[in-house]
């Protein structure tokens, strides 16, 4: 039922219409054409008319087959002569058989001789040659019906992803000379002002011009709770305006929006094959020609060893062998299983970059997580400002604020919010960011440092505080080689962080926290969440060394972070998981898995989806192999009929498909 040649770009929709590629390629083909061709017969949502059209050749074939069986076995009219009987069965065969024969011919011309299409053609034409017309028609009929169910299964697997693809409207309303004008979203330019009515979806990323507006962001984050934005804040394509008319200035081109990045990720997700998938594809290419030669051997070799050899009888056995040996269930269910897993994950706001990561994440033994923005909100608030008496507190704060404007770190944002807007300008020179430590600059010709205590140690600044007595994140300040004081900042633990750790522990997965934040803070958060191991005061290279230590213990590691600052750790881990992929383009590019809604509880969900997908795939492999071996043995021994071969082949394939569909129904 599927062409195993990855280069083969043509097939049929099972019942007469040639469409794009084999089932595996239908699954793997970029979903881009679904978005562009909403009326695509093969991939659109599929009403009763399209279903009837898909089944029509099978209905015609079945009606002619049943009529022939009734006429031949029960009515027995004189006019149903041998030649008319043959013509009748040929007419029943053509609607479902002709597309397969055409596909077999095209496979041969492209260099793939031993395809399952050829197996079905040989088996059915052979059945006609020995006078088994009903069975010849039935083989192809059930084969075709199986293809329709495969097509429907692919549609179902794609449903969640297709919903995501439909989140971006094709048209937007812009204001031109203060008058609304509807244009194609892709024609909108940076700087255009979009007018967004209540209930409308935003077509491009932009900046809110209206004072406030509430948006439904479920399409992007899976979070149904309305998100209220204020003037100047960023709003993203796919968000739905909930209240009054809002105006948005376009800041990003149509093809560069966050949603476009997500769509590209989803569209290419199945390009990365799981090892099981790659093995089955190679296996099918070797397996198919072997069974063809075995079928020939079953037909001819008994001539030399069996008394009373009857060619017709042994040809019939070899044809049964061919029908049973078709590797449809294996080659169908495996890519469809992984695609179903990717679809189920997408439905829950988790994006996998490929089916290979579903396989890897299922075997994770240790989840290593960053602290800030992963297990905590990443929204810092200043708790205390302590400045030594010999310094002017207001002046120091202004200097800190001026230096922190050079950074995008959440700590810098917290300080800026605390100090507030100021008209005083501070002249900074030689500004330098020291990785994992803080910022350095010259102010009025004197050295100014803002960062952690490692920064103080680096520049030999003596300080008279015990960091172990301070639970909060500590920002030390030094001016003119003297310790000027410190600022403490606190971050809130996420609501579902405890749930995330508990779920991981229930799956017997170790948890580790690595952070560049002060060790006492890291230990406090880790203890609050019952995380197994925690390490603070780490530089990026220290995190890499910790990951190496874990891998040296032969443990598979998933690292969860922002995917940008921790790029080396993400690259070193077996699976890199990024929290809140909509926050950064680089996150989407570096991570293997993106959790869109920033919820740490989705880490365990992603692992569970990987485990369930892998379990279903292996269930299908076991079922297919077991049935194949049993019925192949019976067929070669003359104990199975062509009808049983058909039901065994198509039945196993349909059971595999139904098993795959289960993952779409599961709650994780």
Q: Which two tokens stand for residue 327?
A: 């590797």
Query: 574 near 364, Cβ under 8 Å?
Result: yes
HSE, side-chain direction, 13 A CA sphere, residue 59 = 6
Query: 399 near 431, Cβ under 8 Å?
Result: no
Query: 157 near 343, Cβ under 8 Å?
Result: yes
Residue 293, Cβ density class (10 Å: 0-12 exposed, 13-18 middle, ≥19 buried): exposed
Query: DSSP letters along 635-649, please?
Result: HHTT---HHHHHHHH
Give residue 454's region: left, alpha or beta (phi > 0; psi -120 to 50).
alpha
3-state secondary structure of 99: helix
Q: Which two tokens stand for residue 601?
A: 């509880």
What is the distance between the alpha carbons of residues 4 and 13, in angstroms, rounded to a whole number?
16
What is the distance between the alpha carbons of residues 269 and 339, in angstroms, rounded to a whole number?
9
Q: Which two tokens stand for residue 279?
A: 């093995």
Residues ≥6 apart with Cβ < 8 Å to 176? none
From the list 13, 370, 491, 517, the catalytic residue is 370
CA nearest neighbour of 601 among 503, 535, 523, 509: 503
Q: Which two tokens stand for residue 64?
A: 């002619």
Distance of CA 250 to the CA centre of its chain: 28
Q: Which two tokens stand for residue 629?
A: 């071996």
Catalytic status, residue 480 = no
What is the distance between the alpha carbons of residues 327 and 558, in angstroms, rounded to a whole number?
35
What is the distance between the alpha carbons of residues 622 and 625, in angstroms, rounded to a whole number?
5
Q: Which residues pair with 11 in a beta bridge?
A: 19
Residues annotated as catalytic (active site), given as ranges? 370
């Amino acid at each position: 039922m599927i062409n195993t040649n990855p280069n083969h770009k043509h097939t049929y929709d099972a019942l007469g219409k040639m469409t794009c590629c084999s089932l595996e390629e239908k699954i793997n083909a970029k979903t881009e054409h679904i978005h562009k061709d909403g009326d695509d017969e093969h991939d659109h949502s599929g009403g009763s008319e399209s279903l009837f059209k898909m089944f029509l050749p099978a209905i015609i074939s079945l009606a002619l087959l049943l009529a022939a069986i009734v006429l031949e076995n029960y009515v027995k009219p004189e006019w149903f002569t041998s030649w008319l009987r043959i013509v009748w069965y040929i007419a029943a065969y053509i609607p479902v058989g002709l597309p397969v024969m055409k596909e077999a011919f095209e496979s041969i011309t492209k260099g793939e001789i031993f395809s399952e299409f050829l197996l079905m053609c040989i088996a059915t034409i052979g059945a006609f040659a020995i006078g088994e017309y009903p069975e010849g028609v039935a083989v192809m009929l059930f084969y075709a019906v199986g293809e329709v169910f495969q097509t429907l299964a692919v549609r179902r697997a794609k449903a969640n992803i297709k919903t995501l693809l439909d989140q971006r409207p094709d048209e937007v309303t812009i204001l031109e000379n203060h008058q609304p004008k509807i244009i194609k979203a892709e024609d909108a330019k940076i700087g255009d002002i979009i007018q967004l009515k209540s209930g409308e979806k935003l077509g491009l990323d932009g900046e809110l011009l209206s004072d406030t507006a509430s948006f439904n962001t479920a399409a992007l984050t899976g979070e149904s709770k309305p998100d209220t934005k204020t003037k100047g804040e960023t709003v993203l394509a796919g968000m739905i305006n909930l209240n009054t008319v809002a105006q948005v200035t376009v800041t990003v081109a149509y093809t560069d929006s966050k949603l476009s990045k997500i769509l590209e990720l989803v569209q290419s997700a199945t390009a990365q094959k799981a090892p099981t998938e790659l093995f089955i594809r190679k296996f099918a290419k070797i397996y198919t020609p072997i069974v063809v030669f075995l079928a020939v051997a079953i037909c001819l070799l008994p001539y030399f060893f069996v008394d009373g050899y009857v060619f017709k009888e042994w040809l019939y056995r070899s044809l049964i062998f061919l029908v049973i040996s078709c590797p449809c269930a294996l080659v169908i269910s495996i890519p469809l299983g992984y695609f179903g897993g990717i679809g189920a994950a997408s439905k829950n706001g988790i994006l996998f970059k490929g089916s290979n990561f579903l396989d890897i994440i299922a075997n994770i033994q240790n989840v290593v997580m960053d602290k800030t923005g992963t297990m905590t909100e990443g929204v810092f608030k200043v708790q205390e400002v302590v400045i030594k008496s010999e310094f002017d507190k207001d002046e120091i704060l202004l200097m800190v604020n001026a230096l922190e404007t050079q950074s995008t770190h959440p700590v810098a944002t917290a300080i800026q919010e605390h100090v507030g807007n100021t008209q005083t300008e501070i002249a900074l020179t030689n500004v330098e960011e020291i990785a994992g430590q803080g910022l350095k600059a010259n102010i009025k010709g004197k050295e100014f440092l803002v960062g952690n205590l490692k920064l103080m140690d680096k520049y030999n600044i003596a300080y008279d505080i015990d960091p172990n007595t301070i639970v909060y994140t500590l920002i030390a300040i030094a001016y003119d080689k003297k310790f000027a004081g410190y600022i403490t900042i606190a971050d809130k633990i996420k609501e579902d962080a405890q749930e995330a750790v508990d779920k991981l522990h229930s799956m017997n997965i170790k948890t580790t926290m690595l952070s560049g934040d002060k060790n006492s803070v890291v230990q406090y958060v880790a203890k609050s969440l019952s995380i197994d191991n925690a390490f603070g005061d780490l530089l990026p290279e220290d995190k890499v060394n910790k990951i190496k230590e874990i891998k040296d213990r032969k443990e598979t590691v998933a690292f969860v972070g922002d995917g940008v600052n921790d790029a080396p750790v993400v690259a070193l881990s077996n699976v890199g998981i990024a929290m809140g992929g909509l926050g950064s383009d680089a996150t989407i590019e570096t991570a293997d898995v993106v959790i869109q809604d920033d919820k740490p509880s989705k880490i365990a969900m992603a692992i569970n989806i990987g485990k369930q997908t892998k379990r279903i795939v292996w269930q299908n492999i076991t079922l297919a192999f077991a049935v194949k071996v049993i019925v192949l043995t019976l067929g070669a021994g003359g104990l199975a009929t062509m009808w049983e071969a058909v039901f065994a082949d198509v039945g196993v394939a349909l059971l595999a498909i139904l098993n795959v569909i289960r993952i779409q129904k599961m709650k994780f």
